[in-house]
Amino acid sequence: MPVAHTHVLTLVADRTATVLDDAVIADVRDAVGGGRAVLLAPGEAADIHCTAPPDLAAASAALAHRPIDALAVPAANRRKALLVADMDSTIVTGETLDDLADKAGLKAEIAAITRRSMNGEIDFAEALRQRVAMLRGLKLAALEETWRETRLMPGARELVATMRAHGALTALVSGGFTYFTGRVASLAGFDLHRANALLDDGEALTGQVAEPILDRNAKLATLRELADARGLDLAATMAVGDGANDLDMLRVAGLGVAYRPKPILEQAIAVCVRHASLRALLFVQGYHQHAIREA
């Protein structure tokens, strides 16, 4: 009687830096005692089927510091019907508040607070109020300047377009600001977005943010709300983020992915994408290259 493969180890390479070849796949398969390997995208991604949760330390040792992620998930019900994504340093490459602060000559000071907040060292809501207060008087033109410099993370459009094409709801939920999430959601193709609202007097920022603040509790609440609205079990959901503000939703989602994670997520979340693009979130769901939409 054939042995059931209960788990999958997905290997995904940073395709700008290395190639995932047959020899590497075989090395990892042998290291974890895996079964058959299935190529998902030539040179980029492959699945290794396993009869038990694979040993990630053994996989890491076999990869020998190559820029390749090893992502372990249960084999059943891999594809998710809801995606809730953080924005800053996840769907976009930078931190929009820090970049906005640069227009006021305060990037270093505000970025230091951001780092502490994302590492879970200080309360997110208080840190946000403190940083926004420092921007009082900044002209609204600075928002547009910051937006022009904002870039999507590689693979963002493909992730959203592919999941939507297969019936998933996609939501951008950020502790940042609606000025940016609305534009990012449109550019990347998300179904909806939620974030905080910066207050202004028509010419400049007032140094205040609308209450209540969308924080880690609100992100988790949004995940639950959207799942309920679609009649989905939480096992059918995926969440992705990089910092402490995302921790609760990542823990509760059926598949929580820490993307380019801060240390607090490295320690708490099992599925961490450190090297690959956001296409990794499709491969870990079992999507093959031919099913990925280029948007």
CATH number of 82-93+151-291: 3.40.50.1000
Mean pLDDT of 231-251: 97
Contact 181, 193 (CB under 8 A): yes
The residue type of 161 is A
pLDDT tens profile 257-284: 999 999 999 999 999 999 999 999 999 9
Coil, strand, or helix at residue 13?
strand
Mean pLDDT of 144-171: 98
Angle between helix 107-118 and helix 124-133 axes, rounded to 10 deg:
170
Is residue 88 annotated as part of the catalytic site, yes or no? yes
Mean pLDDT of 200-225: 97
Contact 182, 193 (CB under 8 A): yes
Q: Could you please state the CATH topology (level 3) that the domain comprising 7-74 is classified under.
A: Alpha-Beta Plaits (3.30.70)
Residue 294: per-residue pLDDT = 83
**Domain residue ranges of the chain, discontinuous segments joined by +:** 7-74, 82-93+151-291
Is residue 228 annotated as part of the catalytic site, yes or no? no
**Which phi and psi (to 5°) does residue 33 adopt?**
65, 35
Q: What is the mean pLDDT of the chain?
A: 96
Catalytic residue among 14, 86, 99, 215: 86
Encoded tokens for 117:
């907040």
Catalytic residue among 88, 99, 215, 242: 88
pLDDT tens profile 3-55: 688 999 999 999 999 999 999 999 999 999 999 999 999 999 999 999 999 99
